[in-house]
Structure 1
Amino acid sequence: MDYNQAQQRVKDLKKFYKNVLWFAIVAFIIFFNDIFEKGIFSFSLWDGSVILAIWGIILTVRAVKLFLLDSEWERSVIEKEMGKPKQPVKF
């Protein structure tokens, strides 16, 4: 990994962690707002959770791209593919 790739990865990590922090803050506000309005025993997870569900899906996709499908994974797949013997195509 060269300097530019490392710098871009650090920027991506910083953006991801900021998004996770904002997600946690908004989820906390929605969660406790529902508890204070309706009480503890009539709490429903579905109130205001559509936005959180969509946001959570987006964060999950970004986490997979950032942590699982990173440049090391890409490099290892390229090396693996280059090492495979190629069979001629029979027409």
Structure 2
Amino acid sequence: MTVELIMQVSRGGGDRLISTVRRGNDADARGFSGTLELMRVFEELVPADPGGSVGSSASRGAPPAAPESSKRDPAKSHSSGEG
């Protein structure tokens, strides 16, 4: 599952980053300051995948697999010079 998040980041007192984040289709923004609060807000905004397993690559933050059209056959990517 992919969720679009919109963040607005600025500098607060003491040059600390402060921000708000919301789902792309939601007007309700949640504020946070600091990494731990950011992760808490992400956990709240991004629902758990009910069909996913705890050990899946998606739950570990691995990037999604490339589409088949973008994968290349290494044997075909180099010209042999023969012809």
| TM-score > 0.5, shorter chain as reference | no
Q: Which has the higher helix share?
A: 1
User: Normalising by structure 2, what TM-score?
Assistant: 0.25
With CA pairs under 8 Å and 6+ residues apart, which has the higher RCO, 1 or 2?
Answer: 1
Higher Cα radius of gyration? 1
User: Normalising by structure 1, what TM-score?
Assistant: 0.23
